[in-house]
């Protein structure tokens, strides 16, 4: 365990029992997935984002309902179609006492786009923006093209200290040396796979959190997480297993919070390589990549019963998906229908594609990232077997899976051919889901950052490019809906479901849940 405060001796680490929640004292939270980094720009996933939001602030904040509100900036306005003006709060300080400056913001925006080895490159949110200092509190964001969602995009980026971050690597953040923010909590000790201790920052500019200390315990096994809650070892857990929801809801002394996040769990298929590493003929021979044929992708989509996954595998804690965001999200296509399962039509499509006997493929996925993710992968394999496709399943911890899925193969490409993954539209619209998952990979602009298997459709790109510079909201929503519709018709990916996130709490704690799946101590009341 790395000690982040020299000489600190913490009473709850000396063997004494820790109360799971003590007003103005300690709050112990059980995370279903261990954070993988204290570097807020290295990998944007829910558990990392949640941890980072305790430590670092952003220019703007996204509320639980995904609306944008002031953060480090107290106000903003458009000067013209290519210029936004932001005014910082007065007197904000980092946790070491040094003042927040516009130089820190300029440094952050540059650094976030150039983190060596980053699993998610933040150019998708920050490219094409130039920050100009006007005075100590006012800065301009100049864009190459009209950009209607600059405040939304800045809400994705944790502001770091130039003083501590200059020359710092991801390891320096993970050790705590550079993990200095302006957020409501500061890091005291961190062992990312075991225990993270945060202490309230009493100099924080915003509302005072209810708890003086927060202890985050990664507990990946669902049953163990529920047991810890029942034993009062933790006061709050995320991702209550579907099999425990009804029982915990009826149990005295506990409550549940729910949210339908803007996340979609989907299947990605390699549509780029002529020969893909985990596809073979039934006899084991190498065959041309079948996923490049639309008929094969359509057959897979028709074979998968999304309702059964949501109702049976997830015990009702999922909503069948037809696109990369729920219909409530701005820009989602309102008229897409859930495809009916049609095994015979799927078999016919495979025959038309010259694959009457099917083929072999390995389906990869995480086994600790989403609720019952390994069970979902197994269910998909069984469904595809009904159309003659022999599917081998391989699941692994998310920390291993994401690195291999992103750049573990030849030439830095994905190591896989077919995998289950998720994406959350954390800004309350579908724009970045389409830009990051569907748009042709363009590293310079940061597009396709999560398009790990390199789907590409120039017609969809053209619509997206137009939408992203359209200032009129109604017209922009129409363009995004058309891009989503075309991508789904082309089976860019196979959406499966939107998970329903369920949190469990011990009385008297209260937490309303969040659409971005983040478990934040600042939102918990004792």
- Answer yes or no: do 249 and 285 share one domain: no
**287 and 382 fall within a common domain:** yes
244 has a pLDDT exceeding 60: yes
In a domain, 420, yes or no: yes
Give the confidence band of 19 by pLDDT, cuts at 50, 70, 90.
low
Both 117 and 246 in one domain: the answer is: no
Same domain, 126 and 201: no
Of the residues 135, 163, 191, the one at which a domain ends: 163
Residue 448 pLDDT exceeds 80: yes
Angle between helix 373-385 and 294-303 (nearest 10): 110
Using 50, 70 and 90 to split pLDDT, how confident is the model at 378? very high
Residue 462 lies in a domain: yes
Domain with residue 38: its CATH number is 3.40.190.10
The pLDDT of residue 4: 35
Q: Is the domain of 79 the same as that of 136?
A: yes
More confident residue, 327 or 54: 54
Residue 202 sits in the same domain as residue 113 = no
Is pLDDT larger for residue 138 or for residue 431? 138
The domain boundary residue, chosen from 163, 194, 217: 163
Backbone angles phi and psi of 422, in degrees to 5:
-135, 160
pLDDT at residue 426 in the model: 67
Query: Length of the chain, please?
Result: 526
Q: Is residue 211 part of a domain?
A: yes
pLDDT of res. 262: 83
**Total structural domains in the chain?**
3
Give 104-147 pLDDT, tens digit per residue: 999 999 999 999 888 877 888 898 999 999 999 999 999 999 99
The pLDDT value given to residue 441: 95
Q: Are residues 329 and 426 in the same domain?
A: yes
SS (H, E, C) 435-486: HHHHCCCECCCCECCCCCCCCCCHHHHHHHHHHCCCCCHHHHHHHHHHHHHH
Task: Report which DSSP code applies to 434.
Answer: I
In a domain, 176, yes or no: no
Half-sphere exposure of 348 (CA within 13 A, CB side): 5
pLDDT of residue 23: 63
**Alpha-carbon span 361 to 376, nearest angstrom:** 16
pLDDT at 526 over 90: no
Do both 486 and 508 map to the same domain? no
CATH of the domain at 475: 3.10.105.10
Q: Specify the pLDDT at position 283.
A: 94
Residues 102 and 213 both lie in one domain: no
Q: Indicate whether 173 belongs to any domain.
A: no
- Say if residue 9's pLDDT is above 50: no
Compute the chain's Rg from CA coordinates: 23
Determine if the pTM surpasses 0.85: no
Distances (CA, A) of 292 to 117, 269, 270, 372: 29, 9, 7, 29
Segment 519-526 mean pLDDT: 93
Report how far residue 196's alpha carbon sits from residue 35's, in angstroms, rounded to the nearest whole number.
Answer: 9
User: Could you tell me if residue 114 is inside a domain?
Assistant: yes
In a domain, 324, yes or no: yes
The predicted structure's pLDDT at residue 514: 86
Residue 301 has pLDDT above 70, yes or no: yes
Q: Are residues 506 and 487 in the same domain?
A: no
361 and 392 in contact (C-beta within 8 Å)?
Answer: yes
In a domain, 168, yes or no: no
Domain that holds residue 141: 57-163
- What is the pLDDT at residue 2? 32
Tell me, yes or no, whether 440 and 385 share the same domain: yes
Residue 94 belongs to domain with CATH number: 3.90.76.10
Peptide bond before 508: cis, by omega within 30 degrees of 0?
yes
pLDDT at 63: 84
Domain co-membership, 476 together with 508: no
- Give residue 202's pLDDT: 93
């Amino acid at each position: 365990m790395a000690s982040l405060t020299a000489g600190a001796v913490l009473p709850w680490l000396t063997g004494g029992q820790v109360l799971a929640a003590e007003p103005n004292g300690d709050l112990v939270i059980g995370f279903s997935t261990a954070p993988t980094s204290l570097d807020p720009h290295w990998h944007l996933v829910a558990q990392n984002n949640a941890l980072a939001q305790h430590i670092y602030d952003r220019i703007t904040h996204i509320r639980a309902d995904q609306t944008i509100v002031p953060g480090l900036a107290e106000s903003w306005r458009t000067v013209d179609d290519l210029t936004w003006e932001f005014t910082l709060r007065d007197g904000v300080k980092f946790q070491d006492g040094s003042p927040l400056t516009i130089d820190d913001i300029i440094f952050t925006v540059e650094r976030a786009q150039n983190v060596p080895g980053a699993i998610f490159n933040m150019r998708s949110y920050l490219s094409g923006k130039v920050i100009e200092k006007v005075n100590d509190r006012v800065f301009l964001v100049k864009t190459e093209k009209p950009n209607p969602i600059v405040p939304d995009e800045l809400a994705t980026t944790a502001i770091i200290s130039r003083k501590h971050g200059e020359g710092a690597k991801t390891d320096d953040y993970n050790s705590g040396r550079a993990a200095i923010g302006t957020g409501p909590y500061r890091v005291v000790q961190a062992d990312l796979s075991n225990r993270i201790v945060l202490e309230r920052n009493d100099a924080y500019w915003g509302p005072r959190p209810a708890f003086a200390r927060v202890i985050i315990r990664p507990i990946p096994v669902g049953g163990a997480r529920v047991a810890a809650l029942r034993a009062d070892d933790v006061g709050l857990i995320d991702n209550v297993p579907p099999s425990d929801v009804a029982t915990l809801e009826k149990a005295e002394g506990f409550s549940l919070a729910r949210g339908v996040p803007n996340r979609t769990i989907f299947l990605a298929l390699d549509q780029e390589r002529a020969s893909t590493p985990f596809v073979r003929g039934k006899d084991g021979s190498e065959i041309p990549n079948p996923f490049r044929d639309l008929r094969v992708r359509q057959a897979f989509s028709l074979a998968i019963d999304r309702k059964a996954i949501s109702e049976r595998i997830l015990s009702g804690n999922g909503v069948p998906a037809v696109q990369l965001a729920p219909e409530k999200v701005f820009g989602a296509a309102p008229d897409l229908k859930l495809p009916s399962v049609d095994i015979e039509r799927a078999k016919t499509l495979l025959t038309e594609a010259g694959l009457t006997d099917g083929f072999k493929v390995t389906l990869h996925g995480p086994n600790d990232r989403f609720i019952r993710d390994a069970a979902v992968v197994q269910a998909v394999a069984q469904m595809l077997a009904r159309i003659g496709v022999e599917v081998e399943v391989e699941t692994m911890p998310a920390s291993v899976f994401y690195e291999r899925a992103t750049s573990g193969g030849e030439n830095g490409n994905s190591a896989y051919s077919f995998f289950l993954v998720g994406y959350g539209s954390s800004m309350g619209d579908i724009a970045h889901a389409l830009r990051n998952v569907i748009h042709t990979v363009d590293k310079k602009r940061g597009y396709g950052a999560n398009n790990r298997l390199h789907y590409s459709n120039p017609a969809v790109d053209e619509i997206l490019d137009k939408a992203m510079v359209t200032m009129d909201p109604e017209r922009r929503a129409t363009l995004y809906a058309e891009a989503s519709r075309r991508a789904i018709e082309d089976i860019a990916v196979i959406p499966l479901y939107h998970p329903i996130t369920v949190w469990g709490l011990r009385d008297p704690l209260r937490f309303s849940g969040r659409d971005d799946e983040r478990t934040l101590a600042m939102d918990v009341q004792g």
